[in-house]
Amino acid sequence: MRLKISHLTEYRYDEPAQFSLQRLRLTPPTNATQKVLGWALKVEGATPEVEYDDQYGNHVNLVSLEGEQDVTRILAEGEVETGDNNGVTGPHTGFCPLWLFLRDTPLTKGGKLVKELIKGVGGDNELARMHALMAAIHETVDYRPGTSNTETTAEQALERKSGVCQDHAHIFIAAARALQVPARYISGYLMMEEKIEQAATHAWAEAHIPGLGWVGFDPANEICPDARYIRVASGLCYRDAAPISGMRIGTPGETLSVTVKVEDGGQMQSQSQS
């Protein structure tokens, strides 16, 4: 499948911003399930500082903006050819050892509810247990935008029994690690065939399965990623893979709007991220 992506992020400041430094993780890699045919990143009024691959293999652009500004616009767009490997993205590579993906973060630290969740997860092997875990999360936690935010933890989402794809991914990661299975957070794009506009960009999780390597699990949709998915960044949790993160000086508040357009076979779809 050949997908065209246009991802526009716009910040409107309550008062003119004077300085900001932004870390952009908006460039998808070529890997076993996708081939980047072309990609461009544009930031209106920004100065490119440096670009590098971080410890998780994410391509990062660091940009600074100086001078009073009311609006900042960041556009990432390009074409990616995707395939369906039943969610398998291949063996572990990169600077980080595999054991690091057993480490908790504040967002993925499991508690009483995660322990109760994994009590009901069965299966003859790790792959079967991860499929059972994905199904259990999908059944337990409703997809309900507006009931969580980027700081919601896996335990809090389980307590509310609601959240968005980010929360489903964090719960999966917390539970997999509690079962001693390395797991990581994935951010990216999903082509929705029946929905033109969405409330958020997509996120899911990957677990490392002996003999297969990293395998994707999307508990929000109860499916292993197929050709409709594009991986962009990964990490221990959302904070490592957030599309944009950074700091600014000189403004007390901002309004964020994001539009993602996904084109397949000439049909355009729209998404927005939380």
Given a contact cutoff of 8 angstroms between Cβ atoms, the answer to whether 153 and 160 are in contact is no
pTM of the model: 0.92
DSSP 225: -
Contact indicator for 203, 188 with CB cutoff of 8 Å: yes
CA distance 213 to 91: 4
Structure confidence at residue 170 (pLDDT): 98
pLDDT digits (tens, 9 = 90+) for 64-95: 988 777 888 999 999 999 999 999 999 999 88
More confident residue, 252 or 22: 22
Of 161, 206, 157, residue with least CA distance to 181: 206
Q: Report pLDDT for 53.
A: 95
* pLDDT on residue 70: 82
Percent of the chain beyond pLDDT 90? 68
